[in-house]
Structure 1
Amino acid sequence: MVTPGEGPLAVFDLSSERDVFALRRSGRNAAEALGLERQDQVRLATALSEVGRDRLGCDGLTATFTLRADAPRALVVTFEWAGGTAPTPEALALAARLVHSARYESGEGRGRITVEQPSPVRDASASTDRAVRDALRRHTSSTLADDLRAQARDLIAILDETRAQREELRRLNEELEETNRGVLALYTELSKELEETNSGVLALHTELDEKSRQLRAISEAKTRFWTTISHELRTPVNAVVALSRLLTAPGSSPLDDEQRRQISLITFSGHTLLALVNDLLDVAKAESGQLAVVWAEVDLRIVVGQLTGVLRSTYPSQDVVLVTPDPKTLPVVVTDEVLLTRILRNLLSNALKFTEKGEVRLELAQDAAEGRSRTTFTISDTGVGIPEDELSRVFEEFYQVPGLHQRGYQGSGLGLPYARTLTELLGGSLTLTSTPGTGTYIRVILPDRPVTAAAPDMEEREVGL
């Protein structure tokens, strides 16, 4: 029997199997009106049927339908009976599995089971309540066989849906398996390629290490050769220079003008060869890290004055003017006097060699960079210049730019490499630009350093001009 109410949507009195079947049909109708999916409709109807059948026979058994208005919105069916006897655990557990919740409560001689199923409609509306209420009021007469057939149809529908879901799941699993096979094949291919790449990189590293070892061995052998040859040459060259000085010293045998001229040529050549030997030794020491820098205060007036005197006497051309700064403007700097003198001597000598007319100019400026003062030496000339395709090779050891401009000055090819090696040893830089027919411009930047106590080897570090 169905009794419509103002608060509740409907109240069912349950006293027979037919009432339980009616409850099942009404629960299914209410779930459909509420918008639940077909599977959830059958679940709710089955849960109500199981609880009603389990409690059938209890005094005053009723089932009350309500819609909870507050969130979360849900269809609530409450079973109540007198006596407070507990339901069987199996029935309550089955109902709890089919719907969102099924709770049992007892007190004051009464028992209560509350079944809840959430509504897909989140907002409360009068039209939804009216549709559910009308569905509960709708009552059609049916026999037990009709109810059983309806249950069978529901079961078949559920089985069809389950089979369709299983087929869809199987199809998705096949697609996933196929995707996994593709991913695995791609991973295998990438792993193989990566392994081959790593093998190639490892082989390349091994080859580079071997090449580096060979280059180091060659460099060390070259340094040892230079050092040995330089030491072997120094003794006889010093002997030649000393003997030539003795021949021209006061108290020696008288010499005529031609003899004096020839002995002066021997002395000059000896000094030139001795300077070359010293250059070779310094390059070898610098490359092996054995050339020590002795920092001290250096008076540039003395250095530039000595260089000017020696170079003007060595290259006495009337067509080339050597221009140097005013001595009064030259400061005192902190550097290595021996290495600085050799740098400037080599650069100025090169400029004078290859300048037929015009001038060779030495300029000096001081500024600060990165919190340290530095001195910039600029050597410019109006000589033949260097072709652009040769600029990358002028710093190679023993390389000389070919051409008629050599004018018989067949040097060693160590001037520029030697000057740059010493500049870098002092923590500075040497840059060169040149234009054929116009001249060459060289900039040497040397940072000032604190004075450190170090005793130079006077034999090895004699200032050679």
Structure 2
Amino acid sequence: MERQDQIRLATALSELGRDRLGCAEVTVRISLAADPVPALEVTLRWAEGPPPAVEALGSVRRLIRELSEQSVGRRGVIVLRHLIPVPAERFPEIADRVAAALLDRAAANREEDLRAQTRDLIVALEEARAQGEELKLVNEELAQTNAGVLALYSELSAELEQTNTGVVALHTELEDKSRQLREASEAKTRFWANVSHELRGPLNSVIGLSRLLAEAGPGVLGGEQREQVSLIAASGETLRTLVDDLLDVAKAEAGQLVPQPAPVELGLLLAQLEAVMRPLVAQPEVILAFPDPASMPALVTDETMLTRALRNLISNSLKFTTSGQVRIEVRPQDPDRLEITVMDTGVGIPEDEQARVFEEFYQVRGPHQRGNAGTGLGLPYARRIVELLGGTLILSSAPGNGTRVAVVLPVGALPAAPAPSRVPCLISCDDDPAFSAVLRPLLARIAETVVQVADGAELPEAARRARPSAIVLDLDMPHIDGYETLRLLAAAEDLAAIPVVVLTGLPVTEIERERLGPARAVLTKERLGVRDLACALGLTPPEESEP
């Protein structure tokens, strides 16, 4: 045993010895145990005497980990057990040495024992003093470390506070800039809208008057004057197109364009668009190709907004295509999305400018702009409309190889008709009268008529008489259980289509799900509510559900 363990054991035994002074027939048995692990056991017995003092036992427990004590009347026993690091192969040798030392009574006397105890105490005091000195040094180091940590914490806190102050100031500045940008954008939008409205009146007058002059008789205008009036009318039409673009973009930015989804005959929409766009084909070398209207899929979207977006894209392609073709294709991308593609063989767009063409008023510079007036709003406006419709607009292009613009839109669906909140008739099959009494008012809230039967054998005939909208069926019944009743209903041609909702009080793990094929849903009787029943039957739940 290590020195400290020897001192602890000796001190513990001395404490117990002093406590047991005066007791009759005190014996001490010291033994070595090999199983389950090597240990030294000391058993102290007495035949007559008071129980051990609580203070003495508490002191010993602080020194020895394993201590058991038992007192019966004035008799008792205390067992101390201490594990010893003895290899299994050396255990017999160690045991012999201990036995020899205990039997050598001549080697021990009281004075020698006292001297040995004194030496042990001196050693223990020296060790305690050394540990105290070491602990003192450790405490001093910890104090220095804590001082350094506190200084570092204070420094970091000050730096963090300064950083936070800077972040708050920056955040405030960003908020102010964002507010200014938002106000500027709103002012720009209001300016576009107001100017566009103000310009439309004079423009319409100019265009109308120029048409009246152009339609005047031959003696009113000369040939040169008539050509000048035609140029005025054409310029007015171009200017009105630009004003319309401005007004549309202003409405989109102001949030005034709100999609109104409705079923759209895409074939008819494209046929009308072809009729409008074909006169705009200025070059005889350009072919404008639309798909067959008869093969168009169904679509639910805002027809007006989609027409505007496609008209802008097609007009853009026609404007910058001098030969070849402008082709429109439609194909389903997946069951939920539809792709409408506008492809041309025009001049194309350089890669470094493909992102910028979606900026308002930006136009790619080059000789292709001659004779092609525009505002640079067509593509930004088309993309904004497509996004409002819940889709995406994807552009790919290369100089000299034309441009491809794909509009991907959700197919959409008409809002489903609201589910009814009640059905004409429901049948409940349950052999428990108490639960049937609880279930009936729940069913009455979602059915005009409620029929209840107590046996699966009676259910088919009752269903033929009542012709219910649905059946609520218990699984655990004595004669014919729910599984067999489900099989009977599924086998009957006139009853197989009636929806069945299964109720059960069985644990989920005990349900044979492979035998519940025809059932629409399985509900547990615990905490069953009218909302659960309504949802299982595809009904609109009542506003207030009862548990």
> Which TM class, normalised by the smaller chain length?
0.7 to 0.9
Aligned to 1:386: 349
How far is 1:327 from its partner? Answer: 5.2
Shift of the 47–372 alpha-carbon distance from structure 1 to 2, 3 Å rule, reads closer
Give aligned-pair identity as a percent.
51
Are 1:367 and 2:338 counterparts? no
Shift of 1:104: 7.5
Q: Cα 1:280–1:112, aligned 2, differ >3 Å: closer, same or farther?
A: closer
Deviates more, 1:247-256 or 1:72-81: 247-256
> What is the SS of the residue equivalent to 1:291?
coil
Q: Of 179, 182, 195, which aligns to 1:216?
A: 182
Residue in 2 aligned with 1:423?
386
Amino acid at match of 2:139: N
Q: CA deviation at 1:286?
A: 0.6
In the superposition, relative to structure 1, how do residues 336 and 89 fare at CA in structure 2: closer, same or farther (>3 Å)?
Answer: closer
**1: CA distance, partners of 2:390 / 2:190:** 25
Map 1:163-178 → 2, pairs under 5 A: 163-178=129-144
- Write the distance in 2 (CA, Å) between the matches of 1:446 and 1:56: 99
Output the amino acid matched with 1:120: I
* Offset at residue 226 of structure 1 (A): 0.2
Give the Cα–Cα distance (whole angstroms) in 1 for the partners of residues 228 and 397 of structure 2: 38
Residue 279 of structure 1 deviates from its aligned partner by: 1.5
- Label 1:87 to 1:248 Cα distance change in 2 as closer, same or farther (>3 A): closer
Aligned: 1:283 with 2:249: yes
Counterparts of residues 153-192 of structure 1 (less than 5 Å): 153-192=119-158
Q: Equivalences for 1:42-441 in 2 at 5 Å?
A: 42-49=7-14, 63-67=28-32, 73-78=39-44, 80=46, 84-86=48-50, 89=53, 92=56, 96=60, 100=64, 101=67, 103=69, 105=71, 114=78, 116-121=80-85, 125-140=91-106, 145-247=111-213, 257-299=223-265, 303-305=269-271, 307-326=273-292, 329=295, 333-356=299-322, 358-369=323-334, 371-381=335-345, 383-441=346-404
Gapped runs of 5+ residues in structure 2? 416-547
Kept in 2, the 8 Å contact 1:347–1:379? The answer is no
| Stretch deviating more after TM superposition (68-77 or 233-242) | 68-77
Residue by residue over 1:424-465, the C-alpha shift from the partner in whole angstroms, topping out at 9 and shown as x without a partner, is 22222222222223322222233344569xxxxxxxxxxxxx
- In structure 1, runs of 5+ residues without a counterpart are 1-34, 453-465
Whole-angstrom distance in 1 between the partners of 2:157 and 2:333:
55
Q: 1:38: how far off?
A: 2.4
Q: Deviations over 1:229-263 (max 9, x none)?
A: 01101111122233334445699986555554443
SS in 2 for 1:379: strand
In the other structure, the counterpart of 1:18 is none
**Aligned with 1:437: secondary structure?**
coil
Q: How far did 1:93 drift?
A: 5.4
Counterpart position of 1:457: none
RMSD, matched Cα: 3.8
Post-superposition offset of 1:282: 1.1
* Contact 2:30 2:42 (C-alpha < 8 Å) held by counterparts: yes
Deviations 1:67-108 (A, max 9, x none): 456667432243546xx244895995597368534857466x
Alpha-carbon distance between aligned partners in 1 of 2:395 and 2:4, rounded to the nearest angstrom: 89
- Shift of the 253–445 alpha-carbon distance from structure 1 to 2, 3 Å rule, reads farther
Q: CA deviation at 1:172?
A: 3.2
Distance 1:96 1:285, change over 3 A: same
Matched-pair contact (CA < 8 Å) for 1:51–1:95? no
Larger Rg: 1
Counterpart of 1:425, as a letter, is: L
With 427-436 and 119-128 compared, the bigger mean Cα shift is at: 119-128
Partner Cα distance (2:276, 2:72) in 1 = 122
Q: Is the Cα–Cα contact under 8 Å of residues 50 and 91 in structure 1 kept in the other structure?
A: no
Q: CA deviation at 1:153?
A: 1.8
**Whole-Å separation in 1 of the counterparts to 2:76 and 2:301:** 103
Check conservation: 2:68, 2:79, Cα contact below 8 A.
yes
Q: Look up the equivalent residue of 2:394 and give its one-letter code.
A: T
In the TM superposition, residue 375 of structure 1 has moved relative to its aligned partner by 4.1
Q: Aligned AA for 2:44?
A: T
Residues 377, 252 of structure 1: CA spacing in aligned structure 2 closer, same or farther, 3 A cutoff? farther
CA contact (8 A) 2:396 2:403 kept: yes
How many matched pairs? 410
Q: Kindly provide the CA deviation profile for residues 308-359 of structure 1, in whole angstroms up to 9, marking residues without a partner as x.
A: 4554544533343433345555567544343333323322332233233x22
Partner AA of 2:310 in structure 1? L
2:336·2:411 contact (CA, 8 Å) conserved in 1? yes
Preserved CA contact (<8 Å) 1:51 1:91: no
CA distance in 1, matches of 2:96, 2:213: 137
| Separation of aligned partners in 2, 1:98 and 1:430 | 80
Letter in 2 for 1:75: E
CA distance in 1, matches of 2:373, 2:149: 70
Q: TM-score, normalised by structure 1?
A: 0.74
What is the SS of the residue equivalent to 1:355?
coil
Whether the 8 Å CA contact 2:23–2:46 is kept in 1: the answer is no
Equivalent pair of 2:46/2:75 in contact (CA under 8 Å): yes
Distance 1:76 1:210 in 2: 83
Distance 1:346 1:184 in 2: 68
Quickly say closer, same or farther: Cα 1:58–1:191, change in 2 above 3 A: closer
Query: 2-side partners of 1:146 and 1:292: how far apart?
Result: 107
Q: How far is 1:159 from its partner?
A: 1.0
Kindly provide the CA deviation profile for residues 106-139 of structure 1, in whole angstroms up to 9, marking residues without a partner as x: 66xx755646242425788433332221111123
Asked if 1 retains the 8 angstrom alpha-carbon contact of 2:40 and 2:83, the reply is yes
Give the TM-score of the pair, scaled to structure 2: 0.64
- The amino acid across from 1:130 in the alignment is D
**Residue 394 of structure 1: SS of its match in structure 2?**
helix
